[in-house]
Amino acid sequence: MNVSKFSLSFCGGLLAILIFNSLAFNVTAAEYYTVKPTFLPSCRIYEPGFINCSTHSIQKLIDQLNIGIPEIVERFGSLDPMHIKDIVYKQDNNEVATLSSNLTNVMVKGFSQIIIKESRVSKKDFNWQTKIYIPKMSLDAKYKMAGRVLLLPLNGSGKMLIVIDDLDVLLRTKVQLYEKGNFTFYNVTAVTAQLNMSRVHTNLDNLFNGRSKEVERSTNQFFNDNWRDFYEALKPLIVETVETIFLEIMSTVFHLIPANFFVEDIPTPQQLYGTDSKE
Ligand SMILES: *[C@@H]1O[C@H](CO)[C@@H](O)[C@H](O)[C@H]1NC(C)=O
Ligand SMILES: *[C@@H]1O[C@H](CO)[C@@H](O)[C@H](O)[C@H]1NC(C)=O
Ligand SMILES: *[C@@H]1O[C@H](CO)[C@@H](O)[C@H](O)[C@H]1NC(C)=O
Ligand SMILES: *[C@@H]1O[C@H](CO)[C@@H](O)[C@H](O)[C@H]1NC(C)=O
Ligand SMILES: *[C@@H]1O[C@H](CO)[C@@H](O)[C@H](O)[C@H]1NC(C)=O
Ligand SMILES: *[C@@H]1O[C@H](CO)[C@@H](O)[C@H](O)[C@H]1NC(C)=O
């Protein structure tokens, strides 16, 4: 019963905690790869065509994650649908929402449909910038919510469904290089996400503790008619959920697979940071 728990951030009254429903950690599989998996193409950052090559390489990695990389499956379970245990979300002093909301039994769907549109790696610090498209992402959960969204007072608990169509994500990933067994590895230390979408559809049942089905229906209708405003109210929740999922998965993947298998001519940490560095 191993549960990894981590705090997302605390800024401007927002506090969110995600607790991954991790499975057993006593992984018997490889500590890290020493042979390049055949599914990965060979990319060299100091040669032309690197962005195209890297884009294909990351797509192949995503495809393989969907097929199932044992070390990742052992830690996270299935990636699509992906189970996340709890999200505690509190937001105040925001003009569109004052909300305390607790989500449990969270299930995120859509990651198997990820399309990598572009993968860039900086030659300066080897941080990445990745453009991703997800045709449809959904978040299913049990919610408990009290507060106000778009001036409407809400108080209820029940089932929540958020569906996001045509999701474009720009991920900025910070890494530090480190060495393990003569390979250079990425230590993924931070991920920020910027999202654009064509529509957000929401359904919250039992919004007013079941007092009025008609008001519940018209409130959901109102949120969907005004989805851009509604999204603004929930944006920190959605963005941080996406950032945390990518951070957790990418840091696990890149402690497992050497950076050399993605960028064959990546420098060693000593070459990049200098021998006097504490890296
Ligand atoms: C991009 O990479 C793919 C796969 O590595 C290759 O088939 C394609 O020819 C490349 N395209 C360009 C424009 O280099
Ligand atoms: C959410 O849970 C926290 C404690 O974990 C509690 O303080 C808060 O009142 C809960 N919010 C709702 C809407 O139930
Ligand atoms: C929300 O509803 C519950 C149960 O009906 C009630 O106990 C609680 O006081 C209400 N909270 C607010 C902020 O209205
Ligand atoms: C989102 O849209 C804005 C404005 O069109 C654009 O500048 C930005 O690059 C887009 N971001 C993503 C992740 O698509
Ligand atoms: C690293 O490379 C050196 C020289 O090529 C070799 O002697 C050493 O055994 C290697 N270490 C590991 C952990 O593979
Ligand atoms: C990765 O970075 C984190 C945060 O900076 C640090 O605590 C950890 O020791 C690093 N891990 C490795 C293997 O370098």
Condensed to tens digits (0 to 9), the pLDDT of residues 159-177 reads 999 999 999 999 999 999 9
Number of other CB atoms surrounding residue 128 within 10 Å? 21
Is the pLDDT confidence value at 277 over 70?
no
**Ligand 4 contact, 88 CB (< 6 A):** no
Tell me the per-residue pLDDT of 74-86, one tens digit each, with 9 for 90 and over: 989 999 999 987 8
Nearest to 55 by CA among 5, 150, 130: 130
Residue whose CA lies nearest to ligand 2 atom number 8: 100
99-129 tens-digit pLDDT: 888 999 999 999 999 999 999 999 999 999 9
36-88 tens-digit pLDDT: 999 999 999 999 999 999 999 999 999 999 999 999 999 899 999 999 878 88
**pLDDT of amino acid 89:** 84
252 DSSP 8-state letter: H
Is 8 a residue whose pLDDT tops 60? Answer: no
* Ligand with the closest atom to the CA of 117: 4
In DSSP notation, 75-124 reads: HH--SSSEEEEEEEEEE-S-SSEEEEEEEEEEEEE-GGG-EEEEEEE-TT
The two structure tokens encoding residue 108: 């995120």
270 within ligand 2 shell (Cβ under 6 A): no
Prior bond of 81 cis (ω within 30°): yes
Ligand 1 pocket by Cβ (under 6 Å): 41, 49, 52-53, 56
User: Which residue from 101, 143, 144 has its CB within 8 A of the most atoms of ligand 2, so it is best to mutate?
Assistant: 144
- Cα 134 to averaged position of ligand 4 atoms, centre (Å): 14
Mean pLDDT in residue range 178-193:
97
- Nearest to 154, CA basis, from 117, 87, 202: 202
Collapse the DSSP code of 125 into the 3-class scheme (helix H, G, I; strand E, B; otherwise coil) and give the result: coil
Q: Does any ligand 3 atom lie closer than 6 A to the CB of residue 194? A: no
Lining ligand 5 with CB less than 6 A are 181-182
CA of 217 to the centre of ligand 6 (A): 48
What percent of the chain is modeled with pLDDT above 70?
87
Crossing angle of helices 227-256/213-225, nearest 10°?
70
Quickly state the pLDDT bin for 237 (edges 50, 70, 90). Answer: confident
Neighbouring CB atoms inside 10 A of 57's CB total 21
**What pTM does this model have?**
0.85
Please report which confidence band the pLDDT of residue 30 belongs to, taking 50, 70 and 90 as the band edges.
low
* CB proximity list for 191: less than 8 A, separation 6 or greater: 171, 172, 173, 174, 243, 246, 247, 250
